[in-house]
Amino acid sequence: MDCFILAGGQSRRFGGDKLLHRLGGKSTIEYVLETAEQVCDRVHLVVKESGKFKHLGVPTIEDALPFQSPAVGVYTALLNSGSGEVLVLAGDMPLLNPQVLRLLMERYAPPVTLFSIRGKLYPLTAVYSRELLGDLKDFLSSGGRSLVGFLKKLPYTTLTETDVTPIDPELKSFLNMNTREDLTNLMEMLA
């Protein structure tokens, strides 16, 4: 299964480039990349501009559409996938556990399998069927931008905290870095 890490966000709430921010000697994106490489044969970054992550030595694919939205990132991943399904990850979740991702991949049921942790959907820690490409293109063409809004039109499978806690008891895999406060919390966990 191919993995596509979405790395095209603007980091507005963080106040700087959160994906290149260093945590314990590595950038946020490097943590996600290393985890993805443990579970997938091919890993790509979906980016707004390709030069930004060149130093990582990972194939980059620019967003297929000119507007910014995680839905565009998923569309770009599906468009460029060489397999029937893709693992999509957010680039700002440095504590992802590879066993959690393996569980997601093992339990995949078309068209989408994702996590619902404490009632919150995680569409950027999900496996998508390439068969959704046309539907997602239509959704985006009609002005849709919300990935959760797109998902709510589909049958999808969820894994919950009950599935995850035997592997990741503190649910650290689902911590992302949107604000400086999130950064402080993540640094404490990495210490």
Among 33-37, 97-101, 185-189, whose mean pLDDT is lowest?
Answer: 185-189
How far is Cα 54 from Cα 89, in angstroms, rounded to an integer?
19
Short-list 129, 127, 128, 121, CA closest to 174: 121
> Is the pLDDT score of 9 beyond 60?
no
Identify the CATH homologous superfamily for domain 2-190: Spore Coat Polysaccharide Biosynthesis Protein SpsA; Chain A (3.90.550.10)
pLDDT tens, 61-76? 999 998 889 999 999 9
Would you say 37 and 102 are in contact if contact means Cβ atoms under 8 Å apart? no
Domain ranges across the chain: 2-190
Cis peptide, bond prior to residue 111, ω within 30 of zero: yes
Question: Does 139 score more than 70 pLDDT?
Answer: yes
What average pLDDT does this structure show over 89-98?
94
- For the entire predicted model, the pTM comes to 0.92
Q: Are 59 and 45 in contact (CB under 8 A)?
A: yes
- Indicate if the pLDDT at residue 14 is higher than 50: no
| Of 60, 185, 72, 174, nearest in space to 125 by CA | 174
| Residue 152 burial (CB count, 10 A) | 10
